[in-house]
Structure 1
Amino acid sequence: MKPIIAVTMGDPSSIGAELSVKAMARKDIYENCKPLIVGDFSVMEEAKALLGMDDIRLNPIQDVKDAVFTHGTIDVYDMKLIKGSDIQFGEIKALYGDAAFQYVVKAIELAKTGEVDATVTNAISKESINLAGHHFAGHTEIYAHYTETKDYAMMLVHNNLRVVHVSTHVSLREACDRVKKERVLKCIELANEACRMIGIEEPTVAVAGLNPHAGENGMFGHEEIEEIIPAIEEAKSKNIKVEGPVPPDTVFPKALGGWYDVVVVMYHDQGHIPLKTVGFVYDKDLNKWKAVEGVNITLGLPIIRVSVDHGTAFDQAGKGTASEISLVNSIQYAIEFSRNKK
């Protein structure tokens, strides 16, 4: 059976609707899953017209049972929150933030009730959703709240580079304080499980140090000795193949070279910078992005959530030039996770 994948449309003034139309226009998506967009039919209509895809039909629904799941027709779970003709691209507004938030909550609801097998999210504006009164740092925290999940982690993926974060959307000062044995151990376990779910039978997990040179035996900090190494030793006692702490400035070249299947990192930028360095490619001569690729997977949830690893790209919204590859890759990961979870 093909899994049903709910794809949120993202911020209405972003590239989300354009990417959704482009991705749903691909036949290979329908060969492997049953996708539907959770968003606004009116906004999707405007995006379809913008892209000149007259051969694509939109099917507005209010119940998953009414979806046709046929290539050439995009099923849209119509939330009826925004008029497409009123959209001002690239604008930060509470109206747009609330709509984007409601799309996410609906997708979570559909997954929790079993009406869909997995969810994929387009980008939201954190500023807009907070203006709308929804005080969350991002998708990950929304999913954790609405699924009542305490132990979760973000995994970013680009090809064979995978990173799992001990902390994400907190200050660097707070991130250092969050490096605790129990949290590091949980992230090692989640990273190991995630790799197995995508078909890596015996994953090798690397754990990055927090400090330069992984602390240099306490010369540059004690977190490695007091928190990270004890977590690694306990993970080993659970038969997890794990190495570290590896100095942060060498762990990623090793991972790219195939030494490790996944890297547990201590904070947001420690993982995001290397992944986006390889996944985001800008062509100076052409004055445009050649690639904006990467996938974000929330681990530890009772439902499956995969996301594009790029933002709203307000500067590209309404131009029809943004690439759908990250969204397509996200859907493919959602398919794989949903099949293995079953």
Structure 2
Amino acid sequence: MMKQPPFAIVITMGDPAGIGPEIICRALVGMSDEERAGTLLVGDIDTFIRAAATIDAKLAFCTLDGPETAPSEAVVVSQVDNALGTPIPDGEISAAAGEMAFRCVERAVALVQAGQAGVIVTAPLNKAALHAAERYYDGHTGMLASLTGAPASFMLLASETLSTIHVSTHVSLKEAIQRVTVERIQATVEAGHEHLRQLGMATPRIAVAGLNPHCGEGGIFGDEDERIIRPAVEKLREAGYEVQGPISADTVFYRASRGEFDLVVAQYHDQGHIPVKLIAFDTTVNVSLGLPIKRTSVDHGTAFDIAWQGRADATNMNAAIAYARQLARGLELD
């Protein structure tokens, strides 16, 4: 058995102008003493203190490298400073906030790679703020792939009712169609299959959604389903995977939600996101696959319109943390 890190999970602050610090503090309030002791935060300690006060939570914090005289119940924070030094206004896009959000993720990756933490949980960041800081990523998944040197990464949305993994995510619809290749579909299925196996599922049942209406209707609405997707599925079946497809996207998600499949491969962002968010908006967890590290996240944005008003709901953060703890328990068995 491998040596376990001192912290089972590490939670990044996200964009400090958004609701990330608040929902993290709400989640901390609901944890047991043991769970809090196994949780490491990454961000600015003063921001967390302010967030706790905003939601009237009695939480104590100390820095990872701080004095050993800190209260035993204090939540440990790996301090990340405002590197740009400019003000970070609440509920607004700013380069300083984008840079801090990036540095929090960068620090969390380093902590996991150094064996100090097990699974990363990310609070939401804002892509416009990220780009304002000249950090040109399409979101957490692409950023994590870059930081870890992974050749590819995949986004899985997990819920109790329906789970999807995406062939492509944050690209234009035109580019998403171009990314539908035999190789990418095979890699997506393999990543999803391996993840479900790690969670204890012996033979995951995977459905591959079609790209075109009614899977192209025999070529009338496009030939990608027969020319690309079906051959990919056939190769996977020959390799021993329990996979079916292409199945028309207007029925496959319903069938999966009724228990026929454990996972649906969506061909592009909205095809997978819309049904999952419709069914389980508050409890869907975003999971990054194909990386040398494990990461879960909330599946919502920074909610600038309600940030720092004490109104943010931590339901989705609680779900992301619970899923991360499940993955951390899997690490204990490695």
What TM bracket, shorter-length normalisation? Answer: over 0.9
Extract unaligned runs of 5+ from structure 1: 281-291
**Aligned equivalents of 1:249 and 1:94: distance in 2?**
41
Aligned partner of 2:55 in structure 1 is 51
Matched, 1:333 2:323: yes
**Aligned equivalents of 1:297 and 1:268: distance in 2?**
14
Distance 1:152 1:161, change over 3 A: same
Matched, 1:165 2:169: no
Aligned partner of 1:288 in structure 2 is none
Letter of the structure 2 residue corresponding to residue 50 of structure 1: T
Give a deviation string over 1:245-303, Cα, whole Å, max 9, x none: 110010111111000000000000001111111223xxxxxxxxxxx331100111000
Q: TM-score, normalised by structure 2?
A: 0.92
Match of 1:314 among 298, 304, 317: 304
Aligned partner of 1:103 in structure 2 is 104
**Aligned equivalents of 1:69 and 1:208: distance in 2?**
52
Equivalent pair of 2:161/2:279 in contact (CA under 8 Å) = no
Match of 2:29 among 25, 48, 68: 25
Q: TM-score, normalised by structure 1?
A: 0.90
Distance 1:303 1:310, change over 3 A: same
Distance 1:29 1:253, change over 3 A: farther
Matched, 1:126 2:130: no
Equivalent pair of 2:230/2:245 in contact (CA under 8 Å) = yes
Deviation at 1:117, TM superposition (A): 0.9
**Aligned equivalents of 2:123 and 2:186: distance in 1?**
30
**Aligned equivalents of 2:250 and 2:295: distance in 1?**
30
- The count of aligned residue pairs is 327
Equivalent pair of 2:36/2:75 in contact (CA under 8 Å) = no
Equivalent pair of 2:98/2:130 in contact (CA under 8 Å) = yes
Aligned partner of 2:290 in structure 1 is 300
**Aligned equivalents of 1:31 and 1:218: distance in 2?**
54
Q: Secondary structure at the match of 1:326?
A: helix
Letter of the structure 1 residue corresponding to residue 79 of structure 2: D
Aligned partner of 1:212 in structure 2 is 213
Deviation at 1:148, TM superposition (A): 0.8
Letter of the structure 1 residue corresponding to residue 96 of structure 2: L
**Aligned equivalents of 1:126 and 1:185: distance in 2?**
29
Extract unaligned runs of 5+ from structure 2: none
Equivalent pair of 1:160/1:261 in contact (CA under 8 Å) = no
Deviation at 1:62, TM superposition (A): 3.4
Moved over 4 A (4+): 65-70
Deviation at 1:12, TM superposition (A): 0.4
Q: Secondary structure at the match of 2:304?
A: coil
After the TM superposition, which residues 1-342 of structure 1 pair with which residues of structure 2 at under 5 Å, given as runs? 4-28=8-32, 30-31=34-35, 34-53=38-57, 55-62=58-65, 72-81=73-82, 87-280=88-281, 292-341=282-331, 342=334
Deviation at 1:319, TM superposition (A): 1.4
Deviation at 1:69, TM superposition (A): 11
Equivalent pair of 1:3/1:338 in contact (CA under 8 Å) = no
**Aligned equivalents of 2:33 and 2:230: distance in 1?**
43
**Aligned equivalents of 1:323 and 1:197: distance in 2?**
30
Deviation at 1:76, TM superposition (A): 1.3
Alignment root-mean-square deviation, CA:
2.3
Distance 1:5 1:188, change over 3 A: same
Q: Secondary structure at the match of 1:90?
A: coil
Deviation at 1:66, TM superposition (A): 7.0
Q: Secondary structure at the match of 1:136?
A: coil
Letter of the structure 2 residue corresponding to residue 234 of structure 1: K
Deviation at 1:150, TM superposition (A): 1.3
Deviation at 1:160, TM superposition (A): 2.9
Letter of the structure 2 residue corresponding to residue 16 of structure 1: G
**Aligned equivalents of 2:160 and 2:307: distance in 1?**
26
**Aligned equivalents of 2:89 and 2:151: distance in 1?**
37
